[in-house]
């Protein structure tokens, strides 16, 4: 296999990149100054070496616990539960949320064999068991699986006496939090309702 085939094949495995785009990117990298390609290669290696999940919330970070978990200016009694660490970035961009987070690492999807034990549910329950958290905002995506995950967590958390809320609808159904605009996310958070 040639080096170009090799690179094209790797790029085509990335989400949202088809065979044609992969080929275009590969040729772009060949024509670009050598430094540009080196920088990209180094950035890919560095991100894999330095970034890891926060031991408390699962956020992606270079220092664990992450900057959000160690911040003294954030509301420790409020925890927002999201599917992926990228959702934290989307919510943080709004600048409207001052609580903590918990990353599930996905959503319940029985057809794909993803049950509660495949997600970071147990660490969430341990966190809530300490007793400092007063409200959990369920911010899983507004998809069928995201709603089912929220319902499951509500049943699990309810008996602990912690307030459970769900982000408001208004986010496109079936859409990803990650791709929603800041205003929509901020409105969904401020309009959260009891579950
Ligand atoms: Zn953290």
DSSP state of 30: H
3-state SS, residue 121: helix
Give the tens place of pLDDT for each residue, 155-172. Answer: 999 999 999 999 987 666
Half-sphere exposure of 15 (CA within 13 A, CB side): 0
What is the topology classification, in CATH, of domain 60-166? Dna Topoisomerase Vi A Subunit; Chain: A, domain 2 (3.40.1360)
Q: Which residues surround ligand 1, an ion (CB under 5 A)?
A: 54, 56-57, 59, 65-66, 69
> For position 190, what pLDDT does the model report?
80
Does residue 126 have a pLDDT over 80?
yes
Task: Please tell me the distance from the alpha carbon of residue 105 to that of residue 28, in angstroms, as a whole number.
Answer: 34
How far CA 11 is from CA of 7, 32, 47, in Å, comes to 6, 17, 17
Task: Please tell me the distance from the alpha carbon of residue 29 to that of residue 7, in angstroms, as a whole number.
Answer: 10
**Domain coordinates in residue numbering, the chain:** 3-50, 60-166
Whole-number Å distance, alpha carbon 83 to ligand 1 midpoint, is: 14
> For position 170, what pLDDT does the model report?
67
Whole-number Å distance, alpha carbon 76 to ligand 1 midpoint, is: 12
Q: 3-50: which CATH architecture?
A: Orthogonal Bundle (1.10)
> For position 89, what pLDDT does the model report?
93
């Amino acid at each position: 296999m040639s080096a170009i085939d090799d690179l094209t094949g790797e790029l085509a495995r990335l989400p949202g990149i088809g065979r044609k785009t992969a080929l275009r990117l590969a040729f772009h990298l060949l024509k670009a100054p050598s430094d540009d390609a080196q920088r990209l290669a180094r950035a890919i290696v560095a991100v894999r070496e330095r970034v890891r999940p926060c031991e408390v919330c699962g956020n992606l970070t270079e220092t664990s616990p992450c900057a959000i978990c160690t911040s003294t200016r954030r509301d420790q009694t409020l925890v927002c539960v999201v599917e992926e660490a990228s959702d934290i970035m989307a919510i943080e961009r709004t600048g409207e949320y001052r609580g903590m987070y918990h990353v599930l690492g996905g959503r319940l999807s029985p057809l794909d064999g993803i049950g509660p034990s495949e997600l970071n549910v147990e660490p969430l329950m341990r966190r809530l068991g300490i007793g400092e958290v007063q409200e959990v905002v369920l911010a899983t995506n507004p998809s069928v699986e995201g709603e089912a995950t929220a319902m499951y967590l509500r049943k699990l958390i309810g008996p602990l006496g912690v307030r459970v809320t769900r982000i408001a609808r208004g986010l496109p159904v079936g859409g990803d939090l990650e791709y929603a605009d800041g205003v929509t996310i901020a409105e969904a958070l401020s309009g959260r309702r009891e579950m």
